[in-house]
Amino acid sequence: MAARDFFHSVMRIGPVQIGTHRDRHGRTKHAAVCGNDNCGWSADYSNQSAAQLAARTHRCRTH
Ligand SMILES: [Zn+2]
């Protein structure tokens, strides 16, 4: 993702890293990023609990 340079990892749930970064308005965003190269899923959330829930329920796309 474009904001990777500002990504601060907080925790890992399975293959998914949860971290925070600031958007261009200075607001903290909570990002969930899958570390599986075959998946590449990532999403931003406005709070950490939503990001954690998404990480726990995430299923990697398998080919
Ligand atoms: Zn995945």
CA of 42 to the centre of ligand 1 (A): 8
User: Torsion over CA of 42, 46, 50 and 54, rounded to 10 degrees?
Assistant: -10
Q: How far apart are CA 45 and CA 31, in angstroms?
A: 6
Residue 62 lies in a domain: no
Residue ranges making up the domain that contains 34: 2-57
Residue at 27 is within a domain? yes
52 in any annotated domain: yes
Overall pTM > 0.75: yes
- Mean pLDDT, rounded, for 22-27: 90
For ligand 1, the distance from its centroid to the CA atom of residue 38, given in whole angstroms, is 7
CA of 45 to the centre of ligand 1 (A): 16
Q: Average pLDDT in the 43-48 region? A: 94
pLDDT in tens, 2-24: 545 567 888 999 999 999 998 89
What pLDDT is attached to residue 23? 86
In a domain, 63, yes or no: no
d(CA 57, CA 42) in angstroms, rounded, equals 13
**For the chain, how many structural domains are there in total?**
1
Give residues whose Cβ lies within 5 Å of ion ligand 1: 34, 36, 39, 41, 60
Determine, yes or no, domain membership for 19: yes
Residue 55 has pLDDT above 90, yes or no: yes
Please report whether residue 43 resides in a domain.
yes
Whether 51 maps to a domain, the answer reads yes
Residue 22 within a domain = yes
Quote the mean pLDDT of the chain: 88
